Amino acid sequence: MNKTPILALAPMAGITDWPMRTLCCEMGCNYTTTEMVSAMGYLTAPDSLHVYRHLLAVNKEEPSPAVQIFGHRADLMARAAAKLSDLGKFSAIDINMGCPAHKVNSSGSGSALLKNLPLCAEIISSVRKSTNLPVTVKMRLGWDDESLCAIELAHIAEDCGADMLTVHGRTRMQQYSGKADWQAIAQVKQSVKIPVLLNGDIVSAQSALDALSMSGCDGIAIGRGALGRPFLFAQISAALAGKPVILPTADEIIDTAIRHGEMMRAWKGERSAVLEMRKHMCWYIHGRSGAARLRTRITAVDSMDEVYRLLDEFRCLQKNPHDS
Ligand SMILES: Cc1cc2nc3c(=O)[nH]c(=O)nc-3n(C[C@H](O)[C@H](O)[C@H](O)COP(=O)(O)O)c2cc1C
């Protein structure tokens, strides 16, 4: 591979907000996407509704993210894409054709679209016509093993004007179980000319190198592997440059968690920041000395001061692991 690969943070609802994206970009991530946004919900909500203001918030310090929309009506998807493009703060419109959640699929959106390829074509073409931004599609391999359609959908997307694909190497019925099929993603990559990002199960610098070399993809998108580990992007960047992969120290992990908390508090206020940081803190300390014992207390914290006290306690535990 000659070009620098795209190292993307995969969209994750409730997680890939601007603080998370900012931290990942500081560590070498070079492509991000917002959490998914309902096209219909966005078009019908009053402009002041804080849910959408939060979902669509962009930090002026971060590289501009793509915005992901979901829905099942081509006209609404196109109108939402046009309105979001007009905000002038997104780098691309990403169409969600992969979400396996029942409440999204029951209306025919997300991965339910994989059962209706003509509708996929209509949605991609309509969104393409509605914006000058790049249009990208995030998809799975198919609805189930009997209806794999990734190659066919990739051709449709390319023909309808999509600029890039992200392929999660699982079917909808697999949800998040089993292993992502990188070979199947490699076949999608070989069948189209537009860039393809491989997604699924990248959790280390080595798995990133393996995924890139075996698939020939233009980049990778990392979801769960980046939870509490924005450092993973720095590790992958180092490995790609042939440099040693250095794991973060306990101090680096804690300082990053503190910054994450500070950004959250400055943005959403104390109460929401505490609720958000409960889950992020569990991910930051995961697998380290004393984490299991602290986790129960973390899930009950109710002020940011308490968050910082627990992180300090965790810092001490890393220096004196026998105290745990
Ligand atoms: C908590 C969570 C939320 C997610 N939300 C979205 C979403 O909003 N849009 C989307 O396209 N994919 C979403 N995904 C799927 C991820 O983008 C990714 O495709 C999947 O996790 C597989 O990649 P991974 O093995 O690197 O985690 C979500 C995944 C998780 C775990």
pLDDT tens column, 206-261: 999 999 999 999 999 999 999 999 999 999 999 999 999 999 999 999 999 999 99
Q: Is 104 near ligand 1, meaning CB less than 6 Å away?
A: no
Atom 6, ligand 1: which residue's CA is nearest? 12
Q: Is 38 near ligand 1, meaning CB less than 6 Å away?
A: no
Report pLDDT digits (tens) over 254-285: 999 999 999 999 999 999 999 999 999 999 99
Q: Is 36 near ligand 1, meaning CB less than 6 Å away?
A: yes
Report pLDDT digits (tens) over 152-209: 999 999 999 999 999 999 999 999 999 999 999 999 999 999 999 999 999 999 999 9
Report how far residue 220's alpha carbon sits from residue 167's, in angstroms, rounded to the nearest whole number.
Answer: 9
Instruction: For residue 87, count other CB atoms closer than 10 A to its CB.
Output: 10
Quickly count helices (H) and strands (E) in the chain.
14, 8
Q: Is 111 near ligand 1, meaning CB less than 6 Å away?
A: no
Which homologous superfamily is 6-240 in? Aldolase class I (3.20.20.70)
Report pLDDT digits (tens) over 54-87: 999 999 999 999 999 999 999 999 999 999 999 9
* Ligand 1, pocket-test mutation among 103, 224, 233, most atoms within 8 A of CB: 224
Report how far residue 34's alpha carbon sits from residue 157's, in angstroms, rounded to the nearest whole number.
Answer: 21
Nearest-5° Cα angle at 279, 277 to 284: 85
- pLDDT bracket for residue 1 (50, 70, 90): very low
State the CATH class of domain 250-323.
mainly alpha
Question: How much distance in Å is there from the Cα of 253 to the middle of ligand 1?
Answer: 23
- pLDDT bracket for residue 319 (50, 70, 90): confident
User: Is the pLDDT reported for residue 320 higher than 90?
Assistant: no
Question: How much distance in Å is there from the Cα of 4 to the middle of ligand 1?
Answer: 23
Q: Which two tokens stand for residue 323?
A: 């105290």
Question: How much distance in Å is there from the Cα of 15 to the middle of ligand 1?
Answer: 10
Q: What is the domain partition of the chain in residue ranges?
A: 6-240, 250-323
User: How far is residue 260 CA from its own chain's centroid?
Assistant: 17
Question: Is the whole model's pTM more than 0.75, yes or no?
Answer: yes
Report how far residue 122's alpha carbon sits from residue 124's, in angstroms, rounded to the nearest whole number.
Answer: 6
Q: What are phi and psi of 108, to 5 degrees?
A: 95, 10
Instruction: Give the closest residue to 315 by CA, choosing from 277, 289, 292, 296.
Output: 289
Report pLDDT digits (tens) over 41-58: 999 998 777 889 899 999
Q: What is the mean pLDDT of the chain?
A: 95
Token pair 């798995």: residue? 207
SS3 of the chain: helix, strand, coil, percent, to 5: 50, 15, 35
Which residue out of 24, 25, 29, 99 is catalytically annotated? 99
Q: Is 172 near ligand 1, meaning CB less than 6 Å away?
A: no
Question: How much distance in Å is there from the Cα of 148 to the middle of ligand 1?
Answer: 19
Q: Is 68 near ligand 1, meaning CB less than 6 Å away?
A: yes
Alpha carbons within 13 A on the beta-carbon side of 286: 13
Is position 24 annotated as part of the catalytic site? no
Q: Is 100 near ligand 1, meaning CB less than 6 Å away?
A: no
Q: Is 71 near ligand 1, meaning CB less than 6 Å away?
A: no
* Ligand 1, pocket-test mutation among 7, 9, 12, 37, most atoms within 8 A of CB: 12
Give the mean pLDDT of 24-38. 98
Question: How much distance in Å is there from the Cα of 168 to the middle of ligand 1?
Answer: 9
Give yes or no on whether 6-240 and 250-323 have one common fold: no
